[in-house]
Chains A and B, each alone.
Chain A
Amino acid sequence: MSVLLVLIAASLFVATGFLLAFIWAVRSGQYEDRETPAFRILWDDKPANNDKSNNTSNH
């Protein structure tokens, strides 16, 4: 049964990874605006070709 402990540790490790990924996503502003990206996907020619600053830095 003690193999359970290893498994639990592994699963907690993976789950924590996902939690951290989620926190990173929220902090980088990906949850601020979930409407506009839906429009952007409609465009064939990428208008953002001189995308110098990234969206995440100044929020």
Chain B
Amino acid sequence: MAELSSDFKLYQPVIGNNTCYHCGAKTSASGLIQFDGKGFCCAGCKTVYELLYSQDMCTYYNFQTNPGISPPESGISSRFLYLDQKEITDQLLLFNNGQQAKIRLDIPAMHCASCVWLLEALYRLDNGVYQSRVDFLKKQLTITFDPRLTSLRKLVELLTAIGYEPELNLEKLDNKVSQFSNRQLYIKTGVAGFAFANIMMFSFPEYLAMTDTVEDYIQQFFGLLSIALALPVLFYCSADYFRSAWQGWRQRTVNMDVPIAFGIISLFIRSTVEIVSGAGNGYMDSFAGLIFFLLIGKLFEKKTYDSLNFDRNYKSYFPIAVHVIRNNHETQVSLDNLQVGDRVHLRNNEVLPADAVLISGNGLIDYSFVTGESQPVHRKSGDVLYAGGRQTAGLLEVEVIKPVSQSYLTGLWNEDVSFKEHSGSLSVLSNTVSRYFTLVVLSLAIGSAVYWWLVSSDLAINAFSAVLIVACPCALALSTPFTLGNILRILSFNKFYLKKAEVIETLASASVVVFDKTGTITRKSSDRIRFCAADGQPLKLSRAQKKMFAALTRHSGHPLSQQVFRFLEEEELVWLNNFREEPGAGISALIGEHEVKLGSAAFTGAGSSEFFPFPRVYAAIDGSPLGYFEIQSQDRPGLDMILPALRQKYDLLMLTGDRSTEAEKYAALFGSDRSVSAEQTPFDKLDNIRRLQKNGATVIMVGDGLNDAGALAQSDVGISITDDINTFTPASDVIMDGGVFHRLPGFLKLARFSRIIILVSFLISFLYNIVGLAFAMSGTLSPLIAAVLMPLSSVSVVVFTSAATYLSARRIGLSLPFGRVGGEERN
């Protein structure tokens, strides 16, 4: 048997399931690309494998099957030339002394252990590399290299060639040093924990009611040590709470930190007085414990955001440098130095970074990012081109007429809404609660002080400070970050990435959901194409016809041509002559003796052009129309399920840049004709959202691409949807993976549950407060009771919120990140 199976292996090389050994993509059955007995989907993947094979680096494939990323098809030879410019590299490098240089690159494609291995073994592929270190969570690679042996350009080209193209953009240039670090918080927590544990040890005589058996001088020694240990906790660890409370107080907004600050101060002062006067041992243990628990809550909150840092603006969409013609020479100029009047060369597939006038060349500009219109538009010399357009038909020469920062696209971003501020403090709900809470606590404290004043002034001060101590809302302060943090994790695990925890509360209170169409409701990549005869009946093309159309479309850069070419799946190509492309009309060529035409109805002689719900490409051979290719965009799966589900809770709206014929189909799904608005410019969308908000609605906008950028920013919660994490997504509060679109109602439901969970946990912590207050107001709060109540309430709130969030997520049917969260919480 053993022999048989090994024989079997010999005849069945590792081309399992026709998947690429490198990247796991489907390989085409006919034109299989093979090397070393393995199948690959494209030459790029094979090249990467060959490179790794030649360096004896196939360990790469050991940690995960098909770990690779298919490298970009187009040549990378000239794309990174600007990285040879000293002024640009100086901005990018963290450090450079001529012998050693250091660069930190963002590599979004990094996804598994194999990636980490390969990226850290970079020195084997380029001997100028001293060391490369990966930070997997941040998807960053830090390379230390010798600039005499290699260059930044070579490194970036190498990374691109093996499929890990770094994200290089202006935004990164701007804030390369903004390394957010939690070190301070860790140390503060550590110090507070240290003090907490030691003070507890000194309080043991009190806990065990041994005060009679322990001598006085030892008691006093313990007390003084407690004060010494509590000092750093007061001045170092809790400084942030005082600062925040003071700020809140000055702005006349009472936040959660105000009662906390009160509690901290009265705890410390009363304990110090008791210890120094020899009246007792004080509450220093509760004091340090309180700060310790609060800091743990803060740490938890911070950690949740760390992996979710995705602020982006237009700069991450633009190139770093452009080709500028100066003194008849093409040089690379970084965008910062681009001036009005510069002549710029724009190559195929490059994005124009500033508004400009077309000087020469055949402009076929794809504005889909800006306007949402999927068809590229033709522009001739003298026309104005707007920034954000992508040239799709050969080289252009343009003259810049507006600075980068004032162009159309950037104007959309800067339109005063773009970066709305969420309230700075922890959360809206808990702020409302804490305002009343503070008032109640203060009046209770004063009330009980007044009451006890009649008996004795000592008792009054005692009761007053005890109320402030016991009411210190530690559990209250923990409930919101823990609930929202847990929900944030669950949502991220389900590929619904929130920028801030506050977004959850806004999501929960939303009343209107607005959708964009192209790319949001429909999917960009999965267009369905069919060929129809002139009467609209599907028609099968003959092999010869297919070959001719494939040959013709292959020569055109027009997106529709490329879609048709991909649809035809023809690998054998025939020769053609007299290829002509008429902008806005179509393409034609002589193939053999046949004249083949593809394009608009008028161009191919099929009649006059009308508007159809879907774009059509008409085909004609030798002057006789054959029919047309119809390119249908496909709805996202589950759309017909989620819209009715959402309609029960929300008003739904669709705003699209498309023509109304195409939009009307969705009227039924959205409820009525009025909820579908077509032919909306990006500014119209923004205005629409604004109008809804004026009427008191809290608006969720679901969109993609730049055309929605203004609306996403204006809305209360902007959800940008993406099918490929690596492509551009505009700044928004949420980034949602296109694959989980059908779970949107579930996400919103979980957000609504979070409110209930927070409210219940508030109730729980109030219960503890009431019990404690009873002790405090009756003047019988002992340090032991304080030391027990405080951690008990905190722990039970944390346990409750965690359990409740996970249970409700499970009920909704979301996947749960159990293994990971358990591990992370316990550090």
Contact = CB atoms under 8 A, between A and B. Distances in A.
A10 interface: no
A33 B135 contact: yes
Contacts of B214: 1
A47 B186 contact: no
Interface in B334-352: none
B133 interface: yes
B360 to A, nearest CB: 48
A51 B120 CA distance: 11
Contacts of A35: 135-137
Categorize the interface residue count of chain A: 35 or more
A23 B136 contact: no
A39 B138 contact: no
B186 A26 contact: yes
A16 B136 CA distance: 33
Nearest to B215: A1
A39 B116 CA distance: 7
A52 B131 contact: yes
B191 interface: yes
Interface string A15-44: 110110011001100011111100110111
B59 A36 contact: no
Given A26-B183, A43-B117, A53-B100, A32 B135 contact: yes
Contacts of B131: 48, 50-53
Given A31-B186, A34-B827, A52 B130 contact: yes
Contacts of B2: none
Given A19-B190, A31-B186, A48-B120, A36 B134 contact: yes
Given A15-B198, A45-B59, A48-B131, A39 B136 contact: yes
B468 to A, nearest CB: 30
B377 interface: no
B116 A58 contact: no
Nearest to B190: A22
Q: By CB atoms of chain A within 10 A, which of B100, B116, B121, B182 has the most?
A: B116
Nearest to A16: B194
A33 B137 contact: yes
B579 interface: no
A42 B183 contact: no
Contacts of A40: 116, 120
Nearest to A4: B218
Given A12-B198, A43-B59, A32 B130 contact: no
Contacts of A43: 59, 117
Contacts of A55: 133
A8 B183 contact: no
A52 B95 CA distance: 15
A42 B133 contact: no
Interface string B129-146: 011011111100000100
A49 to B, nearest CB: 9
A23 B124 CA distance: 36
A40 B191 CA distance: 31
B164 to A, nearest CB: 15
A6 to B, nearest CB: 12
Contacts of B187: 22-23, 26-27
Contact of B102 (A5, A23, A58): A58
Contacts of A31: 182-183, 186
B123 A50 contact: yes
Interface string B86-130: 000000001100001010000000000100110011011000001
Interface in B134-184: 134-138, 144, 179, 181-183
A6 B810 CA distance: 55
A28 B186 CA distance: 12
A50 to B, nearest CB: 6
Interface in B739-789: none
Contact of B95 (A4, A19, A58): A58
A12 B70 CA distance: 58
Contacts of B138: 33
B35 interface: no
Nearest to B217: A2
B225 interface: yes
B63 interface: yes
B136 A19 contact: no
A58 B95 CA distance: 9
Given A1-B218, A31-B182, A32-B135, A8 B100 contact: no
Contacts of A32: 135, 181
Nearest to A54: B131
Contacts of B179: 59
A-B residue pairs, 10 tightest by C-beta: A36-B136, A47-B121, A39-B113, A35-B136, A39-B116, A26-B186, A33-B135, A19-B194, A22-B190, A35-B137
29 contacts: A1-B214, A5-B218, A11-B201, A15-B198, A16-B194, A22-B187, A23-B187, A23-B190, A26-B183, A31-B183, A31-B186, A32-B181, A34-B827, A36-B133, A39-B113, A40-B120, A43-B59, A44-B59, A47-B117, A47-B120, A48-B131, A50-B123, A50-B130, A51-B131, A52-B144, A53-B100, A55-B133, A58-B102, A59-B179
Interface of B: 59, 63, 94-95, 100, 102, 113, 116-117, 120-121, 123-124, 130-131, 133-138, 144, 179, 181-183, 186-187, 190-191, 194, 197-198, 201-202, 214-215, 218, 221-222, 225, 827
Given A36-B136, A42-B63, 13 more contacts: A4-B218, A12-B225, A19-B194, A22-B190, A26-B186, A32-B135, A32-B181, A36-B135, A36-B137, A44-B59, A47-B120, A52-B144, A53-B100
